[in-house]
């Protein structure tokens, strides 16, 4: 592993003063940005983010829409999954702001700078004295400490898990916050703390923080809440006194005077509203609609623009998630057999005109993926304490998802699935798979919209071919999310977005600590010491300074990549989900009255950079 020993050797040989700037235990001078790996891409005196138009005109209204409903304006508690969209980033902002064009780099915002040491076992944030909440009151270190303690006690599970690693916090003055992170062994923790929102202690009801609320929030962002119709509409208005409007990190952003967000219960009705000009922007997720549904007057005459944006990110995964808390999903053989019966080839050809690619791992189409790659010596070293946790074919890079003949009735895959289920103790009797007690293999697939229902019904029909009874239940968005947060389901469709810099989010998705934490996104209930160890390895992977990285570029990220690939292999071997598919591009459609920058950042379309061409 390239750690402090090799780093120190190179510093000694090369005489690089930068290497010795912050040895272990010594805090470096304040810096206005921090990257998870390597160095920030932008210089300290940058004028604006590279993917914005710094001269974008201000004004006009942006009309957006989402499926579902909402019953809360608090996006940070356990019940936040039915919170109104559009609050984070617009109303609530964090200590530092993320660049959408770098894997994980933060630049100063409420905290104008930070200090940390090489081991990242301490961090000091220096607040900008100009920072203000929307009511004009200053943001002080007392608000930061209040927020930290509140989210540590009552926040979402991933926040509680990360903040629980902090040994101590103190505020020596109104503009300084110090964290002691010793013992955490988590190099991402300073960044996790930097993206913490700052809540107003004067306007936040700590006692009832866990409850759903429609109280108008007081944040520090560029917008204020103007109108709320519970479950139907949220209207935001730009704050003319936004304290950070002239900072380089904000230049060219937040250009609309008003953002109106309407909620629809039906996808077809929402699309009709877009066709009628009531909605300015939509992300298209229906390949058939993308191919054939845009032949309407506004699209033909240029009032609607369509664009396919190439995706440069690792491809995450969506899939039918098996709830391991319920029998029979505790048996990996059952999960593997059920996953093999998702007939991607037939579904892609008959439902989606061949537009998608099959998902196989959790970081597909990237250097982080283990698919098709034999495990490196470093991966094997990481996995050595957990013999058998990764299957041989996955370890050797030979495993691939089953490929059907596309007929919708592939006999070979069905036969293999039945054989696997028989090894798990099931027998086929009168066309049904039953266990030793005669109980049938039956479960419910929970879905939240018609598109998911169509996909689940196709999956259920294929499962019925091998004697498995899968009932599809359609519920509304709010009920779906409530059942998800309480793990009240057998199987449901989940989505795990992949980052080019995986980190703390993996705790909430896969760690043993999150397996039974209400509201956590470990929806499968995975509790594996091997997976816990790989997540810890990802978070502990060391980086080196830019000068050495230029010399040792390949080796500098080897520990990190090995840890991510090892995690990928463990998740694949566990068959926790039946993977679906992904689109190689992001499909968007929008009003020609909107303007957007020429460059799309790494993370895809950023609406905060857009503007209205005319009022």
Three-class SS state of 235? strand
Q: CA nearest 104: which of 571, 576, 557, 573?
A: 557
Distant-in-sequence, close-in-space partners of 510: CB < 8 Å, separation ≥ 6:
522, 526, 528, 531, 535, 567, 571
In this prediction, residue 26 carries a pLDDT of 63
User: CA 238, CA 153: separation in Å to the nearest integer?
Assistant: 32
Residue 5 has pLDDT above 50, yes or no: no
d(CA 282, CA 62): 12
Angle subtended at Cα 543 by Cα 539 and Cα 548, rounded to the nearest 5 degrees? 175
pLDDT class for 15, splitting at 50, 70, 90?
very low
Q: Which of 47-61, 273-287, 539-553 has the lowest mean pLDDT?
A: 539-553
Q: What digits encode the pLDDT tens for the residues 429-481?
A: 999 999 999 999 999 999 998 889 999 999 999 999 999 999 999 998 888 98
DSSP-based three-state secondary structure for 211 = coil
Q: Rounded mean pLDDT of 118-134?
A: 96
pLDDT for the residue 180: 98
- 8 Å CB contact between 30 and 116: no
d(CA 309, CA 204): 40
Sequence-distant (≥ 6) Cβ neighbours of residue 406 within 8 angstroms: 343, 345, 346, 349
Tokens of 288: 């058939």
pLDDT band at 552 (very low <50, low <70, confident <90, very high): very low
Closest by CA position to 468, among listed 506, 514, 435: 435
Three-state SS for 590?
strand
Token digits for 174? Answer: 């109104």
Residue 27: per-residue pLDDT: 65
How far is 564 from 498, CA to CA, in rounded Å? 11
Region 377-382: mean pLDDT is 97
- What is d(CA 359, CA 365) in angstroms, rounded to the nearest whole number? 9
The pair of structure tokens assigned to 29 is 């001078």
**pLDDT above 80 for 13:** no
pLDDT at 461: 97
Cis peptide before 240 (omega within 30 of 0): no
Residues 529-540: what's their mean pLDDT? 93
**pLDDT(558) > 70:** yes
Q: Residue 25 has what pLDDT?
A: 56
Say what the pLDDT of residue 464 is: 97
Six token digits for residue 466: 């091998």
Residue 521 has pLDDT above 60, yes or no: yes
Topology annotation, domain 317-582: Dipeptide-binding Protein; domain 3 (3.10.105)
For residue 328, whether the previous peptide bond is cis, meaning omega lies within 30 degrees of 0, is yes
Distances (CA, A) of 257 to 59, 219, 222, 303, 611: 5, 17, 10, 22, 10
In the predicted model, what is the mean pLDDT of residues 263-291?
Answer: 93
Whether the pLDDT of residue 80 is over 90: the answer is no
Region 253-277 average pLDDT? 96
Return d(Cα 29, Cα 187) in angstroms, integer.
18
pLDDT at 419 over 70: yes
- pLDDT of 294-351, one tens digit each? 999 999 999 999 999 988 889 999 999 999 999 999 999 999 999 999 999 999 999 8
Enumerate the domain spans of the chain.
317-582
The mean pLDDT value of the chain amounts to: 91
Between 278-287, 371-380, 425-434, 537-546, the lowest mean confidence (pLDDT) is in 537-546
Residue 12 has pLDDT above 60, yes or no: no
């Amino acid at each position: 592993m390239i750690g402090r020993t090799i780093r120190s050797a190179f510093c000694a040989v090369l005489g690089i003063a930068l290497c010795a700037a912050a040895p272990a235990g010594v805090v470096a001078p304040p810096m206005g940005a921090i990257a998870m790996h390597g160095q920030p891409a932008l210089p300290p005196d940058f004028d604006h983010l590279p993917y914005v138009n710094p001269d974008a005109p201000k004004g006009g209204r942006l009309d957006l829409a989402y499926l579902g409903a909402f019953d809360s304006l608090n996006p940070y508690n356990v019940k936040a999954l039915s919170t109104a969209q559009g609050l984070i980033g617009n109303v609530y902002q964090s200590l530092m702001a993320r660049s959408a064009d770098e894997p994980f780099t933060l630049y100063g915002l409420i905290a104008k700078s930070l200090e940390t040491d090489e081991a990242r076992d301490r961090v000091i944030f220096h607040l900008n004295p100009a920072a203000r909440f929307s009511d004009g009151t200053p943001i002080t270190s007392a608000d930061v400490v209040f927020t930290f303690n509140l989210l540590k006690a009552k926040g979402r599970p991933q926040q509680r898990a990360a903040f629980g690693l902090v040994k101590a916090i103190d505020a020596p003055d109104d503009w300084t916050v110090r964290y002691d992170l010793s013992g955490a062994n988590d190099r991402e923790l300073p960044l996790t703390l930097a993206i913490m929102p700052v809540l107003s202690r004067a306007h936040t009801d700590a006692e009832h923080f866990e409850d759903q609320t429609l109280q108008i929030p007081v944040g520090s962002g560029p917008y204020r809440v103007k109108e709320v119709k519970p479950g139907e509409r949220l209207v935001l208005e730009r704050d003319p006194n936004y304290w950070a409007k002239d900072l380089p990190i904000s230049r060219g952003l937040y250009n609309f005077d008003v953002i109106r967000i309407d909620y629809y219960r039906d996808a077809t009705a929402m699309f009709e509203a877009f066709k009628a000009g009531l909605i300015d922007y939509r992300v298209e997720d229906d390949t058939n609609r993308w191919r054939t549904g845009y032949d309407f007057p506004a699209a033909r005459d240029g009032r609607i623009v369509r664009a396919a944006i190439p995706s440069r990110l690792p491809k995450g995964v969506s899939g039918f998630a098996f709830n391991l808390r319920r029998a029979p999903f505790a048996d990996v053989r059952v999960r593997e057999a059920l996953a093999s019966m998702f007939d991607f080839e037939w579904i892609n050809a008959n439902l989606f005109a061949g537009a998608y690619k099959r998902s196989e791992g959790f970081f597909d189409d990237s250097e982080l993926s283990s698919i098709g790659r034999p495990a490196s010596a470093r991966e094997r070293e990481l996995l050595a304490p957990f013999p058998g946790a990764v299957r041989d074919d996955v370890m050797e890079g030979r495993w691939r998802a089953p490929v059907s003949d596309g007929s919708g009735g592939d006999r070979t895959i069905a036969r293999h699935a039945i054989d696997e289920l028989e090894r798990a103790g099931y027998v086929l009797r009168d066309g049904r798979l039953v266990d030793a007690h005669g109980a049938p293999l039956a479960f419910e697939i929970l879905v939240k919209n018609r598109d998911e229902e169509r996909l689940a019904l196709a999956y259920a029909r294929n499962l019925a071919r091998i004697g498995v009874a899968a009932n599809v239940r359609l519920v509304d968005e709010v009920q779906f999310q409530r059942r998800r947060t309480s793990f009240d389901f057998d199987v449901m469709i989940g989505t795990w977005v992949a980052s080019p810099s995986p980190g703390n989010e993996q705790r909430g998705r896969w760690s043993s600590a999150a397996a039974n934490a209400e509201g956590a996104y470990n929806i499968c209930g995975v509790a594996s010491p091997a997976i816990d160890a790989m997540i810890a390895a990802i978070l502990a992977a060391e980086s080196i300074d830019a000068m050495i990285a230029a010399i040792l570029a390949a080796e500098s990220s080897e520990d990190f990549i090995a840890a991510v690939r090892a995690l990928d292999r463990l998740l694949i071997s566990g068959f926790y989900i039946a993977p679906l598919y992904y689109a190689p591009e992001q499909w968007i459609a929008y009003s020609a009255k909107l303007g957007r920058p020429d460059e799309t950042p790494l993370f895809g379309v950023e609406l905060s950079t857009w503007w209205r061409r005319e009022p």
